[in-house]
Amino acid sequence: MTTTSIPPSALQGVRVIEMGQLIAGPFAGKTLADFGAEVIKIEAPGSGDPLRNWRLIQDGTSVWWQVQSRNKRSIALDLRSDEGQDIARQLIAEADVLIENFRPGTLEGWGMSYEALSALNPGLIMLRISGYGQTGPYRDLPGFGAIGEAMGGLRHLTGEPGRVPVRCGISIGDTLAALHGTIGVLLALYHRQAHGGKGQVIDVALHEAVFNVMESLIPEYSAFGAVREAAGSALPGIAPSNAYRCNDGYVLVAGNGDSIFKRLMAAIGRDDLGNDPALADNAGRVKRVAEIDAAIEDWTSPRSVAEVMEVLNGARVPVGKVYTAKDIAEDPHYRARDMILEQPTRDGHVVAVPGVVPKLLGTPGSLRTPAPKLGDDTDAVLREIGLTEQQIAALRERKVVA
């Protein structure tokens, strides 16, 4: 895919000031930027967003940065200085959205409470992402995504029964908070347009974003006193749905629909189970899940992943291999749906990055510009708010900008 032909953008004309760093706030900014919002990222002079230096580095910059900050502009501005805060206020006065994921009270300490900023810009929408939210007894505690995953109930369910809780391998708590924040921004933009032009605050807590996707966890505890526990790769209460060993890896099989179960049993030569009236519905299958899982693995274990997938796909049974990064990068379906895109970097490399989700057919998202180097757009942004070259040079001399 090339970026020479840019389709119309759903959020064209929306200006976002991003003050966050690392994952949650910037992921929300990235999502809005992918759909055409102008996102101006404020970074600390000298160091910038720490994500620039996280994980694997190419020419001094993390390749993760190329995903998280694509389509954004970067201004290096010292928010701890009075002059830097004044410039930030000028930018916010002309913005639609402000994203911040500092500890609660940080902006207030800089004289940038929502009340103060909305007095300058009544239509301002402020997305605030923090560990525990802007209110409540824990609001001042430090909170990262991993802690949100634990408090939200997710970590208790990960891993094998009786073993140490494990993480899923990515910062899912931060990303869930970012997606909830993005939804909030879109709702607030719609409300502002439809109901009089007023902005509002969106208060996203990391643990609440995780908790919101925990399905029946609390209703089951409320109704039955049931505390859901870790179950490895199985899906408790839903059968059969598990990972099954093959002779060269594992496959995931979801045979938990009533008709799917019958097709699955026929495919593995176990019509005795498929036609058993006691297993005709999920409630019956859950009671005998160990027997069913054993029958499936007896069939999968001497076979290859490819053979199992061929047979079960032919029987219209949901089945999937456990993909690695290599599998994803080489998969034709990912490529066909533009989910692996080639993106140039500011240093002249080309890096494969995830495509844009969700897919809007009328106003799709796109990759327009590579992730910026620190302060790439400082001068241009300052000129846009009316500063002269002499004023910019003086701010640079005082290390307010870089």
User: How far separated are the first and last CA of the chain, in Å rounded?
Assistant: 34
Q: What is residue 1's predicted lDDT score, i.e. its pLDDT?
A: 40
Q: What is residue 295's predicted lDDT score, i.e. its pLDDT?
A: 98
Q: What is the spatial distance between Cα 203 and Cα 224, in angstroms, rounded to a whole number?
A: 32
Contact 62, 27 (CB under 8 A): no
Any bridge partners for residue 321, and if so which? 251
- For 190, residues 6+ apart whose C-beta sits below 8 A from its C-beta are none
Q: What is residue 20's predicted lDDT score, i.e. its pLDDT?
A: 87
Number of helices (H) and strands (E), helices first, in the chain? 18, 13
Active site residue 174: yes
pLDDT per residue as tens digits for the range 126-166? 999 999 999 999 999 999 999 999 999 999 999 999 999 99
Please, what are the averages of pLDDT over each run of 10 residues along the chain (402 residues)? 62 96 97 98 95 93 96 97 97 98 96 97 98 96 93 94 90 97 98 95 98 97 96 92 97 96 98 98 97 98 98 98 96 96 94 96 95 97 96 96 95
Helices (H), 288-352: 289-300, 305-314, 325-330, 332-336
pLDDT per residue as tens digits for the range 58-68? 999 999 999 99
Q: What is residue 7's predicted lDDT score, i.e. its pLDDT?
A: 66
Report residue 241: phi and psi, to 5°. -155, 105
Q: Which of 34, 96, 174, 376 is catalytic?
A: 174
Residues of the chain with CATH 3.30.1540.10: 241-323
Q: What is residue 114's predicted lDDT score, i.e. its pLDDT?
A: 98
Contact 242, 235 (CB under 8 A): yes
Residues of the chain with CATH 3.40.50.10540: 15-213+332-397
The 3-state DSSP class for residue 287 equals: helix
Cα dihedral sign for 382, 388, 389, 391? negative
**Can you name the CATH fold of 15-213+332-397?**
Rossmann fold (3.40.50)
Six-digit token pair at 158? 């990960």
Entry pTM: 0.93
**Can you name the CATH fold of 241-323?**
formyl-coa transferase, domain 3 (3.30.1540)
- For 29, residues 6+ apart whose C-beta sits below 8 A from its C-beta are 16, 18, 20, 39, 41, 72, 99
Per the prediction, the chain carries an average pLDDT of 95
Query: Of 396, 379, 345, which is closest to residue 83 (Cα–Cα)?
Result: 396
Q: What is residue 8's predicted lDDT score, i.e. its pLDDT?
A: 78
